[in-house]
A and B are shown apart, each in its own frame.
Chain A
Amino acid sequence: GAVVSQHPSRVICKSGTSVKIECRSLDFQATTMFWYRQFPKQSLMLMATSNEGSKATYEQGVEKDKFLINHASLTLSTLTVTSAHPEDSSFYICSARVGGITPPNNEQFFGPGTRLTVL
């Protein structure tokens, strides 16, 4: 399958700082990337859909000014958690879609995730 990387894999920061997470599609171009958050023992929660060259679409309840998403190229999307607080501590996972929204080839491939701990 297609390979998606994320960096960093783990970050610990102080409350009030900003953290940037990178998501890269390594062997394909991804017009659409997705950002999820997952709390322990809970389901994946979609935060936003990111399309290359346009503004991200945020899910209801996700603060777009707090979670800044930039999809500057077909292989890179970034998520910046601004003014992080302890309640933002979570597992952040990106995914990228190989093709369009219609089948086949509309699978999503996930990055390895970034574990954020805010002290």
Chain B
Amino acid sequence: QKEVEQNSGPLSVPEGAIASLNCTYSDRVSQSFFWYRQYSGKSPELIMSIYSNGDKEDGRFTAQLNKASQYVSLLIRDSQPSDSATYLCAVNMPYGQNFVFGPGTRLSVLP
């Protein structure tokens, strides 16, 4: 089983809709979870970090963490064409210094 899994997509949503991106991880004792956005040809940009169970909101973005289910998601409200990018889920495994990145989900917001 891969450590961090994401649906590769592409996920297509119409402009103005809610985009829901999902991520599962294998290590139950992981403590830190991150969502990055990567535009084509660019480096990843941090969108959200979440450490506790529940929801964390920042503007149009909401991260949701459920440690019991080993599941973290990112909701994007009022999706815009400019949100079209690959979204990377990253998990900080407790035994190492680095993050483990998922393969990313490609999101396409259609005008």
Binds A, one of B13-21, B68-76, B77-85, B92-100: B92-100
Count residues of chain B with CB under 8 A from any CB of chain A.
Answer: 22
**Min CB gap A115→B, angstroms:** 8
Do A113 and B92 touch (CB < 8 A)? no
Q: Write the chain A residue with the least CB distance to B36.
A: A110
Count residues of chain A with CB under 8 A from any CB of chain B.
Answer: 21
Which positions 97-116 of chain A face chain B at CB distance < 8 Å?
101-104, 106-113
Question: Does A93 make an interface contact (CB < 8 A)?
Answer: yes
Question: Does A49 make an interface contact (CB < 8 A)?
Answer: yes
Do A104 and B98 touch (CB < 8 A)? no
Do A44 and B46 touch (CB < 8 A)? no
B residues contacting A by CB (< 8 A) are 31-32, 34, 36, 41-46, 49, 51, 88, 90, 92, 97-99, 101-104
> Considering the complex of A and B, which 7 residue pairs feature the smallest CB-CB distances, nearest first?
A113-B43, A110-B43, A103-B51, A103-B32, A93-B43, A43-B103, A110-B44
A residues contacting B by CB (< 8 A) are 1, 32, 34, 43-44, 46, 49, 91, 93, 101-104, 106-113
